Amino acid sequence: MFEQWQPLGPVLCISAFNFPVAVWAWNAALAIVCGDPVIWKPSLKAPLCALAVHGLMQPVCAEAGHPDVLQLTFGPDDAVGKALVADPRIPLVSATGSCAMGRKVYPVVAARLGRCLLELGGNNAVIVDKTADLELAARGIAFGAAGTAGQRCTSTRRLFVAESVADTLVAKLVRAYGQMNEKIGDPRDTANLIGPLIDVGAKEMFVAAIARIKADGGEILAGGDVVDRPGCYVQPTLVRVPAGKPFPFMDEETFAPILYVRTFGDDDLEGAIALQNSVEQGLSSALFTDSVKSAERFWSPGGSDCGIANVNLGTSGAEIGGAFGGEKSTGGGREAGSDAWKAYMRRQTCTVNGSDTLPLAQGIRWD
């Protein structure tokens, strides 16, 4: 008796605009090693990266004797996406995008009893306790919130900071944001730190978010404006949330460089963790602390409910050696890490009878 793993079959990879190659790459690398062909449907907001990479890969695959192992398809979701997701010949759909997109994909695949790997939204939070190295925290928070103009699924959206260190940390962040907001422009120019949002729709979403923040009583500490130049450029924005009052908009993920700041009592780490966990997504989280006890509480059962729980580094990014993915409305998928390959294969148990008798476990006798 033994177990073995077999190739699963064609894998559909739906990638998002913000990482137009990386998401496909870590799916395709595992899928090919596992013996699965890959169908790539890239975001229509970033098609040229996919076209270029596919063009580079095709002759390599052909030389290896597998000219058709990688396929590329373009088209609108209603026409192309729906047909692929519903096709029973595709046993695994790996989709990266918004929670709304995942809610459309998952029921269709589930209805045909297929498999899904979903990497969806992440309203990620950083907690800074009273013992934290504030210089270290400021660097991790600023990069996590403003890097890639806030357009990563792991971007830092919410900051919970202990009351006794809040003013000092906020002052550091305001200075950092001031420097970043002086260096906004074409990212091909290395003098710039902040590039554009993906399109006009994203810029309009940012403008609407700022208007709602002001209407709800949020205080703009830095940024908050559209940059007066051609393109979809906006300022990374730091928002202080009113103390002691509900601020529900903070729980909604805006795919833009907006960071909300709220304080918590110095000895109320439990309350800060509860605030972090209060949103529907569960992708990335971080705690800045010099307390071993606080760190262990953060990643223990009942601590962070996210798929990633970092200590003394920010939420943004992924260590490829570890499992990347999240819980709750983030989808539960893992496309990297120790056993991620199992999602791309089917498991088979084989029992071999090498004798000339057929014993039955139930004790039934044929004679």
The answer, yes or no, to whether residue 319 has pLDDT greater than 90, is no
Q: Judge if 205 and 282 occupy the same domain.
A: yes
Q: Judge if 129 and 14 occupy the same domain.
A: no
The larger pLDDT score, comparing residue 338 to residue 41, is at 41
Q: Judge if 131 and 271 occupy the same domain.
A: yes
Please give the tally of structural domains in the chain: 2
Q: Judge if 139 and 275 occupy the same domain.
A: yes
Q: What pLDDT was estimated at residue 361?
A: 74
pTM of the model: 0.95
| Distance, CA of 138 to CA of 133 (rounded, Å) | 9
| Distance, CA of 180 to CA of 201 (rounded, Å) | 23
Residue 324 domain-assigned (yes or no): no
Q: Judge if 73 and 105 occupy the same domain.
A: yes
Q: Judge if 45 and 133 occupy the same domain.
A: no
Strands 345-350 and 38-41: unpaired
The answer, yes or no, to whether residue 359 has pLDDT greater than 90, is no
Q: Judge if 132 and 232 occupy the same domain.
A: yes
Query: What are the phi and psi torsion angles at 75 (to 5°)?
Result: 155, 160
Q: Judge if 13 and 100 occupy the same domain.
A: yes
Q: Judge if 133 and 195 occupy the same domain.
A: yes
Check if the beta carbon of residue 126 is closer than 8 Å to that of residue 160.
yes
pLDDT in tens, 6-19: 999 999 999 999 99
Q: What pLDDT was estimated at residue 56?
A: 97
The CATH number of residue 141's host domain is 3.40.309.10
Q: What pLDDT was estimated at residue 208?
A: 98
Cβ burial of 65 (10 Å; 0-12, 13-18, 19+) is exposed
The answer, yes or no, to whether residue 366 has pLDDT greater than 90, is no
Average pLDDT over residues 90-98: 97
- Which sequence positions are flagged as catalytic? 119, 153
Of 331, 340, 307, the C-alpha closest to 119 is 331
Q: What pLDDT was estimated at residue 321?
A: 82
The answer, yes or no, to whether residue 328 has pLDDT greater than 80, is yes
The answer, yes or no, to whether residue 290 has pLDDT greater than 80, is yes
Residue 356 domain-assigned (yes or no): no
H or E, element range at 16: none
| Distance, CA of 248 to CA of 216 (rounded, Å) | 9
pLDDT in tens, 36-88: 999 999 999 999 999 999 999 999 999 999 999 999 999 998 899 999 999 99
Q: Judge if 141 and 280 occupy the same domain.
A: yes
Q: What pLDDT was estimated at residue 362?
A: 80
Q: Judge if 132 and 52 occupy the same domain.
A: no
Check if the beta carbon of residue 34 is closer than 8 Å to that of residue 24.
no
Q: What pLDDT was estimated at residue 360?
A: 77
Q: What pLDDT was estimated at residue 363?
A: 75
Q: Judge if 116 and 186 occupy the same domain.
A: no
The CATH number of residue 36's host domain is 3.40.605.10
* Domain interval for residue 12: 2-120+331-350
